[in-house]
Amino acid sequence: MQATHPDHLRGTAGPGTWTLVVADRVHTLAGPPAEALVLLDDRVAAVGDTRELRERFRPDRTVELDGVLVPGLNDAHAHPSMTAENLLHVNCSPEVATDGDVLVRLLRDEAAVVGEGQWVLGSRYDHTKTTGGRVVDREFLDRAVPDRPVLLTHVAAHWGVLNSAGLAAAGLTGDSTDPPGGALGRDAAGELNGVVYEQALFDVSYPSLARGRTVVPPSTPEARLRGLARAQQMFHAAGITSMVDALCGPDDVALLSEAARSGQLTLRVAVLVAFPHYDRIAALGLHSGFGDERLRLLGVKAFVDGACAGGNCLVDEPFEGTDDHGMQTMADADLRDLVERVTGDGVVLAVHANGDRAIRKLLDAHERARALGAPPRRHRIEHCSLVDADIVGRIRALGLVVVPFGSYARFHGDKLVGYYGRDRLERMFAHRTLLDAGIPVAGSSDYPCGPYEPLAAITSCAERRALDGTLIGPSQRITVREAFGLYTTGAAYAAGEERVKGTLAPGMLADFVELGRDPFEVPADEVVDIPVRSTWVGGRLVHAL
Give the pLDDT of residue 194.
96
pLDDT tens by residue, 245-262: 999 999 999 999 999 999
Q: Is the pLDDT of residue 74 over 90?
A: yes
Q: Is the pLDDT of residue 12 over 60?
A: no
Q: Are strands 34-40 and 18-26 parallel, antiparallel or unpaired?
A: antiparallel
Q: In three state form, how does the secondary structure of 236-258 look?
A: HHCCEEEEEEEEECHHHHHHHHH
Q: Are strands 18-26 and 61-64 parallel, antiparallel or unpaired?
A: parallel
For residue 510, give the nearest of 9, 43, 69, 27 by alpha carbon.
Answer: 43
| Mean pLDDT for the stretch of residues 22-42 | 97
Calculate the dihedral angle through the C-alpha atoms of 522, 524, 528, 529, rounding to the nearest 10 degrees: -30
H or E stretch covering 69: strand 68-71
**90: number of Cβ within 10 Å:** 21
User: What is the SS3 assignment for 59?
Assistant: coil
Q: Is the pLDDT of residue 5 over 70?
A: no
Within 117-268, where are the H helices? 127-130, 138-144, 164-169, 199-205, 221-237, 250-261
Residue 76 contacts residue 244 (beta carbons within 8 Å): yes
CA 64 to chain centre: 32
Give the pLDDT of residue 115.
81
Cα–Cα dist 485/503, whole Å: 10
Cα–Cα dist 168/176, whole Å: 11
Q: Is the pLDDT of residue 4 over 50?
A: no
Q: Is the dihedral of CA 216, 217, 223, 225 positive or negative?
A: positive
Residue 105 contacts residue 98 (beta carbons within 8 Å): no
Give the pLDDT of residue 116.
83
Beta strands in 391-539 (DSSP E): 401-403, 512-515, 532-537
Cα–Cα dist 200/217, whole Å: 16
| Mean pLDDT for the stretch of residues 340-368 | 98
Give the pLDDT of residue 8.
42
Cα–Cα dist 352/362, whole Å: 9
Percent of the chain with pLDDT over 90: 93
**Domains by residue range for the chain, with CATH:** 1-72+502-544 (2.30.40.10), 89-205 (3.10.310.70), 275-501 (3.20.20.140)
For residue 73, give the nearest of 235, 294, 259, 292 by alpha carbon.
Answer: 235
| Mean pLDDT for the stretch of residues 373-386 | 97
CA 319 to chain centre: 25
Q: Is the pLDDT of residue 1 over 70?
A: no
Q: How confident is the model at residue 7 (pLDDT cuts 50, 70, 90)?
A: very low
| Mean pLDDT for the stretch of residues 480-502 | 98
pLDDT tens by residue, 116-167: 889 999 999 999 999 999 999 999 999 999 999 999 999 988 899 999 999 9
Residue 324 contacts residue 315 (beta carbons within 8 Å): no
pLDDT tens by residue, 266-323: 999 999 999 999 999 999 999 999 999 999 999 999 999 999 998 999 999 999 999 9
Q: Is the pLDDT of residue 13 over 80?
A: no
pLDDT tens by residue, 419-458: 999 999 999 999 999 999 999 999 999 999 999 999 999 9
Q: Biggest alpha carbon distance in the chain? A: 80
Local structure of residue 490 (DSSP, 8 states): I
Give the pLDDT of residue 3.
45
Cβ neighbours for 422, distance < 8 A, ≥ 6 positions apart = none
Q: Is the pLDDT of residue 383 over 80?
A: yes
Beta strands in 275-411 (DSSP E): 295-303, 348-353, 380-383, 401-403
Cβ neighbours for 117, distance < 8 A, ≥ 6 positions apart = 148, 149
pLDDT tens by residue, 185-235: 999 999 999 999 999 999 999 998 898 899 999 899 999 999 999 999 999
Local structure of residue 429 (DSSP, 8 states): S
Q: Is the pLDDT of residue 338 over 80?
A: yes
pTM: 0.93
| Mean pLDDT for the stretch of residues 483-506 | 98
Cα–Cα dist 234/407, whole Å: 17
